Structure 1
Amino acid sequence: MNCLATTITITCKPTLISDMAVAIDPFSDKFPYFNRSSQRCRLQSLTNLDFSFLQSFKPKPEDDNIHRSVSSPCFSIAASANMEEDKKTTAAPQIEILGGQRVTTVRALVAEVTMAIVSGAQPMLLPSGLGGAYLLQTGKGHNIAVAKPVDEEPLALNNPKKSGSLRLGQPGMKHSIPVGETGVRELAAYLLDYQGFSSVPPTALVSISHVPFHVSNAFSSMPYKVASLQRFVCHDFDAGELGPGSFTVDSVHRIGILDVRVLNLDRHAGNMLVKRCDRDKGVGTAELVPIDHGLCLPECLDDPYFEWLNWPQALVPFTDTELEYISSLDPFKDAELLRSELHSLPESAIRVLIVCTVFLKQAAASGLCLAEIGEKMTRDFARSEDSFSLLETLCTKAKATVVNKGNEVKCEVEVHVSKPPLAPKGPHAKEKKRGNTMRSMSPSMSVHHAESEGVSFGDMTTVQWDMFLESFQRLLQEALSKRLVPSLGKQ
């Protein structure tokens, strides 16, 4: 007996990639047969019509030669009052790939999710977390992926857990990442995880239509939703349920390397999943899988949070394999990848990636361990007011060099530098002296930033950006070579 097959077309945007068709065996165990009984034909048969309109019809003699079919023709009832409602109830779910369509694992993930949804699977809202996250399963109950609509993020107006009132584009949980822009960053982290080095699960950015996600009254007319899709990871625990001594040094290092590159602002124990944890094998044998990268690649330098910063594994020196991987990273190649795949990711966020990758490469080559690198990127809250990290200090001075048109600002590099005052208002640039550091103001490019903001790179032209990178790398190399960076734990 021949098996019927249902063909689903998954549209990829942009149109550089051809559409992909997936044939489904309707009698397979994984995907049950799709019931089309709910789809009604909108064309009514002649036998169901009112024949009164034919009484006024008088055939002409010349019409005698017209062939008359014995079958019942179909007439289109265009004026049906229920047509629009029928369209809503019978429209099939659709998924369009908005980012990552060149990656085979992304297309495979979207195909599997599409087949499950068309087969009747319904998204299930997960109770954990502040935002709208939905578990997608097959008809047999096997977990496939987690979908996160961008309009249901924490603090967003359409949040299903009533935890926010912000509209898309407003500053979110982190001021440097607007509401509605975490999905594109989820995909960016996966694209940057070359060869699965850090084990980020396959992730896609998609547009989903006719799927019952949460819709508040303010968004009742939305025809589709943009969401991130991340493949579900089978796990035993999350890192918060076990002590840090349970994890392998290798998995901690690999997650930390990714976090440093993308300046992850929210690497907590809950978004590191524990796999293959066998208590009989002792400590240090569990592998970690990182998820939830929506709060990475901020639009300006911000204060990151690294859960692993004080773990003993972070104090272990990098292995030769890890150093080789770090050395092979090309921040400018990474930037071109994100520009070509993720058009909605702002250039300022891409420049943060470049700066952090340069910082990682030079620091690792100088012999710093993961904990030391993470410490130099994190602000110090030991004092009454928080102070800049070493990374922010060097970037502030490099940016001042650009403002001064290449005239280096002579000052000693310090690990802890108090936050500078707000930039003066007005059209004229002024200079303010703070300690031994002279900082210059420019109306076209600001060196300073507000108390709640970090160093931004989005206001620099291409020429200024090149000058900044040259100055930043020189200042960083001087700081590392002169050993002005104290050892971890020293004041």
Structure 2
Amino acid sequence: MRLFEMAVAIDQQQHHGFKPFSRSQRCKLQSFGHLDYNNILQLNQQTTFSHSFELAFQADNIHRSFSTPCLPLTGGDDLHSPHPRIEVVRGSGAPVHTLVVEVAIAMASGIQPIPLPNGLGGAYVFHNQNGNNIAVAKPVDEEPYAINNPKGLNNSPQIMLGQPGLKRSIRIGETGIRELAAYLLDHGAFAGVPPTALVKFCHATFSDTSATVKLASLQRFVGHGFDAGELGPSFFSVGSVHQIGILDIRLLNLDRHAGNMLVMKHDQKSYCANGGAVADLVPIDHGFCLPEWLDDPYFEWLHWPQASIPFSESELEYILKLDPFKDADILRAEVPSLREASIRVLIVCTIFLKQAAAAGLCLADIGQMMTREFCRGKESSSSELENICLQVKASINNESEKEEQESSCGVGGISFGDMNKGEWELFLEIFDKFVIGVFEEKKTYKS
């Protein structure tokens, strides 16, 4: 217990209700707002992962702002101090600040993160002094295939950060930034993504005890009784399923399974007594969203009965107000290490959602058009959305490029990262008109 050594200091103009501890020693967390995440991932891995991060954070050109709480140091070099600390790399706002403060206090109290057995990557839960779980941290270097993966998925020394990962359209070491992106794009907490930040831990105890520095995503822990797989869809509210589905479509989520939809903590008997859909879901684990090309998504909710119910007026209004270009600007500003190819996937999927909803399609209809079908145990070459994008993309290229794209469809998916600005703008113009015609045909066919 070293609470007497620590102080939590927050910018006096934006302390969001927190009162700084009245201690003699005060310090403020360094927020690395202009960290070049891509350069860090490309550092020579002959050096240890943790040492690579130390070198990156010692760079003179890193901007440091002082507005977020942290654990203080007793003096000397921050990175080499033996005391545990947490620092914000990316993320802001009152919910994130609150989360970081709570984790900082827990660490100052000597509380160690507890490894979670589930999942393929390293994940750790922090609890407070009362024993209540408050946050989940996922270190970048413990992702599947990353160098310090604790689940045995790091067998090949040839696999490095920045290379294709478990999902080939998402690179090793880049799931944490996608966790943050999902939180930033869940406007008004519409789907309920818990507060999330990208943080740096120094001298915290994770599975790799030799690492002094860990970059990780940090997310508010959600108290829950079950996950969606333990109850089944009949217990879930229509609105909750729709809200998660709308988010998944925008982000082209490749991994929306039952285990990452949490059911808010209640007594299971109360669900049965109430006779049905009374539970709300909370979506977590968004590391496999925003792929670099139109990969094959997985939507657990696709065949749930709620997905076939039309959108409500409030849901349609929310979709109508979505602006994919403003969202793209948010990601470029707040998550600059996210590749432009992934941002363009967001734009295409959001336009597709908006046009489909305006045409009267339900969540199941839209999800089905984005998903590759299976026939006799084999995946089809492309989804309807991929076929549409392939036709539009081919219309602005020459025939040889068209043949090349057709041959690669289903192998690498449809990418938008190879287009220059003019080609991309032309693609969006044609795509917008093309999908309107596709949806009109579907409406005519149904009627």
TM-score for both structures, normalised by structure 2: 0.81
What's the CA shift string for 1:236-273, capped at 9, x where partnerless? 10001002100000100000000000000000000000
Q: Choose from 118, 143, 151 the match for 1:161.
A: 151
- Decide which of 338, 341, 348 is 2:341's aligned counterpart: 348
Q: Secondary structure at the match of 1:187?
A: helix
Q: Does 1:95 align with 2:86?
A: yes
Partner of 2:94: 104
- Partner residue, 1:478: 437
Q: CA deviation at 1:465?
A: 0.4
Task: Give the match's secondary structure for 1:162.
Answer: coil
Q: Check conservation: 1:297, 1:352, Cα contact below 8 A.
A: yes
User: Does residue 9 of the first structure (1) align with residue 2 of the second (2)?
Assistant: no
Q: In structure 2, what is the Cα distance between the partners aligned to 1:485 and 1:380?
A: 23
Structure 1 unmatched runs, 5+: 25-33, 43-83, 405-428, 432-438
SS of aligned partner of 1:300: coil
Q: Taking structure 1 as reference, are residues 385 and 295 closer, same or farther at Cα in structure 2, changes over 3 Å only?
A: closer
Name which of 436, 445, 462 aligns with 2:421. Answer: 462
The aligned counterpart of 1:400 is 394
Q: Does the aligned pair in 2 maintain the 1:193–1:199 contact within 8 Å?
A: yes
Partner Cα distance (2:339, 2:69) in 1: 34
Matches within 5 A, 1:8-407: 8-14=27-33, 18-20=65-67, 22=69, 91-101=82-92, 103-165=93-155, 166-215=159-208, 220=210, 222-277=211-266, 278-279=270-271, 280-383=273-376, 384-404=378-398
User: 1:447 deviation in Å?
Assistant: 6.4
Bigger RCO (CA 8 Å, 6+ sep): 2
Contact 1:186/1:293 (<8 A) preserved: yes
- Separation in 2 of the partners of 1:182 and 1:480? 33
8 A contact 2:134–2:221 mirrored in 1: yes
In structure 2, relative to structure 1, the CA distance for the partners of 1:118 and 1:401 (3 Å cut) is same
Per the TM alignment, residue 212 of structure 1 is displaced from its structure 2 partner at its CA by 1.5
Deviation at 1:4, TM superposition (A): 4.6
| Secondary structure at the counterpart of residue 430 of structure 1 | helix
Task: Please list the CA deviations of residues 311-370 of structure 1 after superposition, one character each: whole Å capped at 9, or x if unmatched.
Answer: 000011000000000000000000000000001100000000000000000000000000
Deviation, structure 1 residue 215: 2.1
Check conservation: 1:10, 1:111, Cα contact below 8 A: no
SS in 2 for 1:388: coil
CA shift in 2, pair 1:472/1:22, >3 Å: closer
Does the 8 A contact of 2:185 with 2:327 survive in 1?
yes
SS of the residue corresponding to residue 28 of structure 2 reads strand
Structure 2 spans left out of the alignment, 5+ residues: 1-20, 35-62
Equivalent residue of 1:107, what SS? helix
SS in 1 for 2:408: coil
Choose 1 or 2 for highest CA Rg: 1
Q: Deviations over 1:444-490 (max 9, x none)?
A: xx5652643110011111111001111111211111122289669xx
Report the TM-score when normalising by structure 1. 0.74
More helix by share: 2
Helix, strand or coil: the match of 2:263? strand
**1:276 shift after superposition:** 4.8
Q: Distance in 1 between matches of 2:121 and 2:444?
A: 39
Q: CA shift at 1:95, angstroms?
A: 2.1
- 2: CA distance between counterparts of 1:360 and 1:189? 17
Q: For residues 206 and 134 of structure 1, do their structure 2 counterparts lie closer, same or farther at Cα, with a shift above 3 Å needed?
A: same
SS of 2:374's equivalent in the other structure is coil
Contact 1:150–1:182, Cα closer than 8 Å, also in 2: yes
Check conservation: 1:7, 1:23, Cα contact below 8 A: no
Change beyond 3 A, Cα 1:22–1:177: closer
8 Å Cα contact 1:176-1:302 kept in structure 2: yes
Task: Please give the alpha-carbon distance, in whole angstroms, between the structure 1 residues aligned to 2:348 and 2:107.
Answer: 41
Which residue of the other structure, out of 400, 405, 427, is the alignment partner of 1:430?
A: 400
1:304, 1:22 → 2: CA distance?
38
Q: For residues 411-447 of structure 1, what are the alpha-carbon distances to aligned partners after superposition, in whole Å with 9 as ceiling and x for unaligned?
A: xxxxxxxxxxxxxxxxxx737xxxxxxx355xxxx56
Cα gap change, 1:146 to 1:251, in 2 (>3 Å)? same
* Structure-2 separation of matches of 1:236 and 1:116: 24
Residue 266 of structure 1 contacts residue 295 of structure 1 at CA under 8 Å; is this kept in 2?
A: yes
Look up the match of 2:5.
none
Query: Offset at 1:401?
Result: 1.4
The 8 Å contact of residues 223 and 265 in structure 2, kept in 1 or not, is answered as: no
The residue type paired with residue 414 of structure 2 is V
1:482 match: secondary structure: helix
CA RMSD of aligned residues (A): 2.7
Aligned residue identity for 1:194? H
Q: Any runs of at least 4 consecutive aligned residues in structure 1 with deviations exceeding 4 A, and if so which?
A: 2-6, 21-24, 484-488
Q: Distance in 1 between matches of 2:153 and 2:33?
A: 34
| CA distance 1:460–1:340, change in 2 (3 Å) | same
Q: Distance in 2 between the 1:354 and 1:223 partners?
A: 38
In 1, Cα distance between equivalents of 2:292 and 2:87 = 27
Q: Which residue of 1 aligns with 2:40?
A: none
The separation in 1 between residues aligned to 2:416 and 2:70, in whole angstroms, is: 47
Q: Report the number of matched residues.
A: 391
AA aligned to 1:402 is I
Letter matched to residue 481 of structure 1: E
- Letter aligned with residue 479 of structure 1: V
Letter in 2 for 1:453: G
Give the 3-state SS of the residue equivalent to 1:228 in structure 2.
Answer: strand
